Amino acid sequence: MRSCCLGFEKPYLFFIIIVGAMMINAAAGAFAESSEPALQPAVQTLAQKAFAQKTDAAVRQFFEKNLAALPNAQAKVQALTLLAEYEQHNGNYSNAADCYRRAAGFDTTDKKTALLLDAVRVLLCGGSMDSARSLLSEIAAALPVSDEDPYYRRAAVYDTWRLLAEDRADRAVPLITAYTKKKAFSEYHPALLFTLWWVNGDEDAKQRLLKEYPAGMEAAAVNGTVTVQPSTFWYLMPRSGLAQKPAAGSTASKTSTVSKTGTSSEAIKASPQSSAASKTEAASAQPSKPAAGSETQAKPSYYQLGFYKTKKYAEALATDLQKKHFTPIIKEEMRPSGTVYFAVLVKENAAGDMGLRLKDAGYEAFPIFP
């Protein structure tokens, strides 16, 4: 079993992980884009003290209070990027997007666009499609329309996922299919092939993924070696029945997250603990975020375990849940296009431990907040 989903008991441990990863990758050039500069000493000191705070709110407050005292713009970029990663880790996607945008405002290099695209990525993960669409339009206006431009390619891929989440598979699927045939988009091919399989049960995409990228996390998700954890982004996607069925010998409790490498990892973003699906937004398939400051304190009213275009798949999951002594509800939701989707929900119990019970039974469940 492959599992990369880590739980962090204290914010300070997050500092150890993320700062260590950034410094290692700065030396090795392991990110998809050019290597990151080492953290400035002032940023290291700020981050170390911030992540020593006891609560998410205290971490955020410490960063904000001390940001202005940093010595230069690049230090502010680094600090805001660290805070964005931390907010994403805790499922606070709107806060993460705001941090990335603010960081972009301080950046005077060509990486400003990368930071804005990071903001788009977390908006997509959080289901904020209107904001993602608006920011993508802003970015696209400043980009050359050329497959040779790496930022154009990344924006194009994000836009197809945005279209899918908005129930525009009629536009998105042909674009995704075309990108899987373009060499310029090769870095995104595993993610795009996975997407085609996820939304359409595309057998050709699956076979190509398994043949050409057998060691990738996407292939592992397709063959059932790992499962994609629920996040707002993937729950908003139409999902084929094939994508729901684990491979023989696998279990629903096998989980994974993919590292941030700028390509396939962003698609699968499979809601890492770094995506913290257990702390995000939403009521039903079109989530609305809790009031500011309540994201980590609000208690869910339901847990969503599936979201399907085909009712029989929802019914099959509900039957499986009933066999394990849960009481599922199937909720219908009609999109503006007229397409009806079926969400499988289980109500929170009086003890407040339904999420743990579902997890112990082998289910990955997405919390639905009032």
- pLDDT at 341 (0 to 100): 80
Asked if the model's pLDDT at residue 361 lies above 50, the reply is yes
| pLDDT greater than 50 at residue 194 | yes
Domains of the chain: 11-298 (1.25.40), 299-370 (3.30.70.1070)
* pLDDT for residue 218 is more than 80: yes
Q: So what's the pLDDT on residue 34?
A: 42
Question: In which band, very low, low, confident or very high, does the pLDDT at 244 lie, cut at 50, 70 and 90?
Answer: low
Region 311-315: mean pLDDT is: 85
Contact 90, 56 (CB under 8 A): yes
Using pLDDT thresholds of 50, 70 and 90, give the confidence band for residue 206. Answer: very high
Q: Of 186-200, 233-247, 253-267, give the lowest mean pLDDT range.
A: 253-267
In the structure, what pLDDT confidence band is assigned to residue 36 with cuts at 50, 70 and 90?
low
Q: What would the 3-class secondary structure string for 151-220 be? A: HHHHHHHHHHHHHHHCCCHHHHHHHHHHHCCCHHHHHHHHHHHHHHHHHHCCHHHHHHHHHHCCCCHHHH
Range of 15-24, 96-105, 226-235, 317-326 with top mean pLDDT:
96-105
The arithmetic mean of pLDDT across residues 144-170, rounded, is 91
Query: What residues are paired with 304 via a beta bridge?
Result: 345, 366
- Contacts within 8 Å (CB) and 24+ apart, 36-40: 37/74, 37/78, 39/78, 40/70, 40/71, 40/72, 40/74, 40/75, 40/78
**DSSP alpha helix (H) spans, 289-349:** 311-323
Answer yes or no: is pLDDT of 40 > 70. Answer: yes
Q: Which residue has the higher pLDDT, 235 or 251?
A: 235
Q: How far apart are CA 229 and CA 146, in angstroms?
A: 34
Q: Residue type for 324, please?
A: K
For 103, the enclosing helix (H) or strand (E) is: helix 93-106
pLDDT classification of 298: cutoffs 50, 70, 90: low
Q: How many residues does the chain have?
A: 370
CA pair distance 66, 43, nearest whole angstrom: 10
Percent of the chain residues past pLDDT 70, beyond the cut: 71
Phi, psi of 281 (to 5 degrees): -60, -150
What pLDDT is recorded for position 241? 61
pTM of the model: 0.64
What pLDDT, on a 0 to 100 scale, did the predictor assign at position 1? 30
Average pLDDT over residues 182-203: 92
DSSP-assigned beta bridge partners for residue 308:
342
CA–CA gap between residue 22 and residue 38 (Å, rounded): 8
- What is the pLDDT, as a whole number, of residue 133? 93
Above 50 in pLDDT, residue 27?
no
Residues with Cβ < 8 Å from 362, sequence gap 6 or more?
251, 252, 253
Predicted confidence band of residue 17 (pLDDT cuts 50, 70, 90)? very low
Q: What is the pLDDT of residue 229?
A: 62
Task: Flag whether pLDDT at 302 surpasses 80.
Answer: yes
* Band of pLDDT at residue 192, cut at 50, 70 and 90: very high
Residues of the chain with pLDDT > 90, as a percent, come to 40
pLDDT at 37 over 50: yes
Least confident of 70-79, 233-242, 318-327, 328-337: 233-242
